[in-house]
Amino acid sequence: MKKIAITASKSKTQYFVNQAYIKYVADAGFIPIVVAPESMATSTKICDGLLLPGGIDLDPLYYDEDNIMSYSTDPEKDAFERAILQEFVALEKPVFGICRGMQLIIREFLLSIKEDKYNEWFTFYQNVNSHNQTGSLSIDRHIPTHYVSADMAGLYGKPSRIKRIPVNSMHHQCLALSDKGRAPEVLKKDLTVLAWTRRGFDKKDKEIVVEAFRINNWPSKVLAVQWHPEELSDIELLRNFFSPKRKKNDHKPDKAPLASKIADVVGQ
């Protein structure tokens, strides 16, 4: 079974991870490994992939921005997760980001490619309305609150007629993309937007909130979502990412199903 690293948060006396992440990874058929800074060197070697979970806000000062509305920031936690992200990417091991994890990944990605033109298209907002259901709406974490337009093949590895999916939402920092009709096509060599919404913006605004993306030009496979699939028990999303099903032409057909059919006929 594949081992999936999950980065821990810390209090004054403890390291901890929300139970939902542990259960999510285990239910998807993998072994969850909780990683603290002290165990990072060993964990990057023994683990097959990384899950960067949700949590407190990223510190915008590291990215040369004043802290206007980012709460409970922890530069040490940011540094730890940046380091482990960079290590897994260097080792060409897959990385899956959730909420805060998505924010960290996109920030580091844009720093790594050093493309000034992307500053014209991407905007980081420290507060977007109607995206924190546990605060403004007092709705439990496992209950969806809004729809996102979604590329189902990009998220789940198979085509679907479904164009929108309901998601939960527990963030107020967000990544916005302008000129939605042109920019995603131009960005495709570097990044593919897999889910988005206009929730939180006025109709006159020409921006969308990026809810999921895939990075195309890093050594490792990277996918991130802004919502919390671990609270929705969306096992297929995680399972497809870390252990995608092979296409029929990728391997010899299994003889077991045919043998089973023959046995059924003989028994009739």
pLDDT, tens digit, for every residue of 214-237? Answer: 999 999 999 999 999 999 999 999
Whole-number Cα distances in Å, 223 to 58, 62, 191, 226, 240? 19, 23, 10, 11, 11
C-beta separation of 145 from 169 below 8 A: yes
| 121-137: pLDDT as tens digits | 888 887 665 545 455 66
Global model pTM greater than 0.75? yes
* Helix H or strand E segment including 207: strand 207-215
What distance in Å separates the CA atoms of residue 4 and residue 219, rounded to the nearest whole number?
18
Q: Are strands 3-7 and 146-150 parallel, antiparallel or unpaired?
A: unpaired
Whole-angstrom Cα distance, residue 67 to residue 61? 6
User: Lowest mean pLDDT: which of 95-104, 212-221, 253-262?
Assistant: 253-262
Higher pLDDT, 86 or 61: 86
User: What is the 8-class DSSP label of residue 98?
Assistant: E
Q: Which residues, in sequence order, are CB contacts of 130 under 8 Å at separation 6+?
A: 136, 146, 169, 199, 200
Domains in the chain, CATH or no CATH each? 3-267 (3.40.50.880)
